[in-house]
Amino acid sequence: MKTPRTLVALITAVMFCASLGLSGCKPETLPRTATEEQLDQKLAEQVKTAFGNSPAFKFPDVQVASFKGRIQLSGFVQSDAQKSAAETIAKGIPNVVEVDNKIALKQ
């Protein structure tokens, strides 16, 4: 009856290894200073204002988030041209380090 013992040993080893791997999976956070947080809020507002001032596109369904100068765009637009324009506008704002465009097209 080696098979059941081997199977139990194998399952135990797998569970042990999995528990070790999962216990060390704490997401690493990148803390912001109060100043960085204020700058990020200001940067996100500047992008939103630029969207509102755009003569061709108003982007009502696009959300803007900022973290350490990196802008993330999410939400919905009507066309690829609007998606591309939103990214171009965001990249044109001073102090924007990077733009992550996660905007989807409305169907």
CATH number of residue 90's parent domain? 3.30.1340.30
Number of domains observed in the structure of the chain: 1
Distances (CA, A) of 97 to 31, 42, 71, 104: 17, 14, 8, 22
The Cα–Cα gap between 93 and 77 comes to: 20
List CB contacts of 7: < 8 A, sequence separation 6 or more: none
Neighbouring-strand partners of residue 3: none
Tell me whether residue 76 is in a domain.
Answer: yes
Domain enclosing residue 84, as ranges: 34-105
Which ranges of the chain does DSSP label H, i.e. alpha helix?
Answer: 2-23, 34-53, 80-91
Q: What confidence score (pLDDT) does residue 38 get?
A: 95
Tell me whether residue 13 is in a domain.
Answer: no
Distances (CA, A) of 5 to 16, 19, 70, 71: 16, 21, 54, 55
pLDDT means per 10 residues in the chain (107 residues)? 59 55 54 90 95 80 94 94 93 96 92
Tell me whether residue 39 is in a domain.
Answer: yes
Tell me whether residue 87 is in a domain.
Answer: yes
Q: What confidence score (pLDDT) does residue 6 get?
A: 66
Q: Would the pTM of this model clear 0.85, i.e. be above it?
A: no
Tell me whether residue 28 is in a domain.
Answer: no
Identify whether the C-beta of residue 67 lies closer than 8 Å to the C-beta of residue 32.
yes
Which amino acid would we find at residue 19?
S
Which amino acid would we find at residue 22?
L
Tell me whether residue 59 is in a domain.
Answer: yes
